[in-house]
Structure 1
Amino acid sequence: MNEPDLAALFGAAGVTGWLHATDLRSGREIGLGSDVPLPTASMFKVPLMVEFCRQADAGLLDPASRVTVGAADRVTGPTGLCAMLDDVTISLRDLGHLMITLSDNTAADVLLARVGREEINAMLDGFGLRETRVRQSCRDIYESMAEDAGHSWPYLDPEDIARLRVLDPPRANSATPRETAALFGLIWRDQAASAESCAWMRNVLNLQVWPHRLASGFPYDDVEVSGKTGTLPTLRNEAGVVEYPDGGQYAVAVFTRSLSTALNQPRADAVIGTAARMAVDHLRR
């Protein structure tokens, strides 16, 4: 498999794609546009989770401490606390669980306010992940889209898309495929935080509910797929780790941009899994 094969695969699905995959045991890699800075959408919640765990490890916050999330805290989104009507009292740790497993935007923003963007970016710098930046909260994302387009998502046309700051890497939450895969590698190697915290992060990432992207490429009972999706207009991403029963572990990050502004694009979702499987199969050979 080579870059033209991957590019043709993405093109047949109506998207432009970027990918990086790493064998976490041997260090072998394969990629397409591995070092291109791209908007991450909800995948920014992964570095947020890492910094949350590091602060808990350092005693800077208590993950079991409780906060009450009310109407003023609620952010646009279809899942979790975003969809609730009443106040919810919940621990910081369970906010982290919801923001990963359900991609709960409200949970993410409450946690982000506690952890801090500058702290996340300083942590990323410490790991040498200098193209990975957290600049926007979920509220910022939705408010900026409404400002830029003059109306709310999902009703956007191509002219609206061209104005969206959330799709412009220097102004948005962003990363490269290589750095995204590297961050997952740090979690799987117990290097992102304490061994206990990394084990918790791996478990939460394994419980993500969305099966239609990365996991769709590995429909086997004995293969574990853990990950985090990201979605914005024309943008579909997912990154995670694929684990085989022989002990093989592969960090994979796939980013896509579609020509169409349609919300439902099953081919664009499915190609993420197909491309990831092609990359992992190549590394396993």
Structure 2
Amino acid sequence: MRIARSLALVLLVTLAFGQMPSPLAALERLFTVRPAQAEWFSASFLQQVPVALVDQVISTLEAQLGRYLGVRAEDNGFVVSFEKGEVPAVIALDSDGHITQLLFLTPRPRFAGLEQALAGFRELPGKVSLLVLRNGQELAGLNPDEPLAVGSSFKLAILNALWEAIKAGKHAWSEVVELRPQWKSLPTGILQDWPEGSPITLHTLAALMISLSDNTASDALLSVLGREQVERWSGQNRPLLSTREAFVLKNPANHGLLERYLRADEVARRRLLPELDQLPLPPPTLFTGGPVAPEVEWFFSTRELCRLIEGVADLPIMAINPGPVQPKSWQKLAYKGGSEPGVINLTAFLTSHQGHRYCVSATWNDRTVLDEAHFISLYSGLLEILAGLQ
């Protein structure tokens, strides 16, 4: 269910707060009375978003998802239903009933069955890997043994190594380490902005690594555990790069070092790692466009990721951030995803209300900017099908 990227999937303006007399009715009106009227919106909203753009977004949703059916309340927002799917929405009104905030989230397509859900993944350009396991048996697969770049989903390997060390009594969740400057990486995350020497438990590092995909937290744990210990879980990724090392290698200013690294074997690559530690991080803006040095990544098959997430699925930190998973649709969930320009992976380990255990891992790579919202939409639709299976 592709939504035009120029609309960025969202129409978001938050400029005023107040009472909300009837947000559900205001949302319904947008789909039942056309065209939208300027008097429905606050002046501050209209300064940012013209009425014509509101109509354009709604028309695009209807073109992709079919006839409008209705609106219902869900959690802290609403869901707009269509013939072919539904769209979570957030709306806020001022005390006079004018719309001050309007947000349409990633659509959740409604598929007729598993085969239709899988068809969308097959049609994607580039390389795609998908694996659906049900109670340990393969229910569906698309190149499930092909290693592809998975972004921050590699942090599942670090968490497995940590959990193994804790169970063996070598470390403890309550163990405290002081934040070191050499651990600081680029966002995502928050720890890169914390003061050096801040005391942090291993549990906090792990929770931030999984829930916020905090790069500094993952590099800290990689250092505490030791690269060789984590590599027992990292498959072909040897040496397993820290996020800081990967960012430095991707920096165009270090192109010569990158060429040496790519030509080297594993032993020679390990010898180059101290050189990376001496170089500064590139600016974060380097990674806001298209793919940068895609050869420098973490490569896992979806089958490997299913094994990794199953090993830590029962840890409570795995459910802090459910990602595209709808918690109410599942009895229990564990989720980790990863992305960078040209790369996206979504991996979940789920227990249905019928008692079935699923792993659903999907990866997409291409040498251009990906329509991540479309991929997430396909994944969400697949999960809805699985949640209803008996």
Offset at residue 230 of structure 1 (A):
0.7
* Partner in structure 1 of residue 250 of structure 2: 145
Q: Secondary structure at the match of 1:242?
A: strand
Residue deviations 1:84-136 (CA, integer Å, cap 9, x gap): 356521111221111111111111101100112221222x3xxxx84576711
* Partner in structure 2 of residue 18 of structure 1: 129
Match of 1:241 among 315, 330, 349: 349
Offset at residue 256 of structure 1 (A):
1.1
Q: Secondary structure at the match of 1:110?
A: helix
Offset at residue 22 of structure 1 (A):
0.8
Does structure 2 conserve the Cα–Cα contact (< 8 Å) formed by 1:56 and 1:62? yes
Match of 2:358 among 250, 270, 278: 250
Offset at residue 182 of structure 1 (A):
2.2
Distance change >3 Å, CA 246–CA 11, structure 1 → 2: closer
Amino acid corresponding to residue 342 of structure 2 in structure 1: T
Amino acid corresponding to residue 63 of structure 1 in structure 2: W
* Partner in structure 2 of residue 182 of structure 1: 307
Does structure 2 conserve the Cα–Cα contact (< 8 Å) formed by 1:14 and 1:268? no
Does structure 2 conserve the Cα–Cα contact (< 8 Å) formed by 1:14 and 1:259? no
Distance change >3 Å, CA 81–CA 269, structure 1 → 2: same
Point out the structure with the larger helix share.
Answer: 1
Q: Secondary structure at the match of 1:165?
A: coil
Q: Aligned-pair RMSD on alpha carbons?
A: 3.1
Does structure 1 conserve the Cα–Cα contact (< 8 Å) formed by 2:312 and 2:318? no
Offset at residue 174 of structure 1 (A):
1.7
* Partner in structure 2 of residue 208 of structure 1: 321
Residue deviations 1:10-52 (CA, integer Å, cap 9, x gap): 366666421111112x624321001101122111111111111
Residue deviations 1:108-166 (CA, integer Å, cap 9, x gap): 101100112221222x3xxxx84576711110121122147867532444xx64x4322
Does structure 2 conserve the Cα–Cα contact (< 8 Å) formed by 1:131 and 1:179? no
Q: Which has the higher contact order (CA 8 A, sep 6+)?
A: 1
TM-score by length of 1: 0.74
Offset at residue 229 of structure 1 (A):
0.8
* Partner in structure 2 of residue 274 of structure 1: 381
1:1-285 equivalent positions in 2, closer than 5 A: 6=118, 8-10=119-121, 16-24=127-135, 27-84=137-194, 87-122=197-232, 124=233, 130-131=235-236, 135-147=240-252, 152=283, 153-157=286-290, 161=292, 163-166=293-296, 172-188=297-313, 199=314, 201=315, 203-208=316-321, 211=323, 213=324, 215=325, 218=326, 220-258=328-366, 260-261=368-369, 265-278=372-385, 280=386, 284=389
TM-score by length of 2: 0.56
Deviates more, 1:89-98 or 1:79-88: 79-88
Unaligned runs of 5+ in 1: 167-171, 189-198
Unaligned runs of 5+ in 2: 1-112, 256-281
Distance change >3 Å, CA 219–CA 108, structure 1 → 2: closer
For 2:242 and 2:377, the matched residues in 1 are separated by: 28
Offset at residue 243 of structure 1 (A):
1.7
For 1:272 and 1:259, the matched residues in 2 are separated by: 21
Offset at residue 78 of structure 1 (A):
3.4
For 1:268 and 1:5, the matched residues in 2 are separated by: 11
Offset at residue 259 of structure 1 (A):
5.5
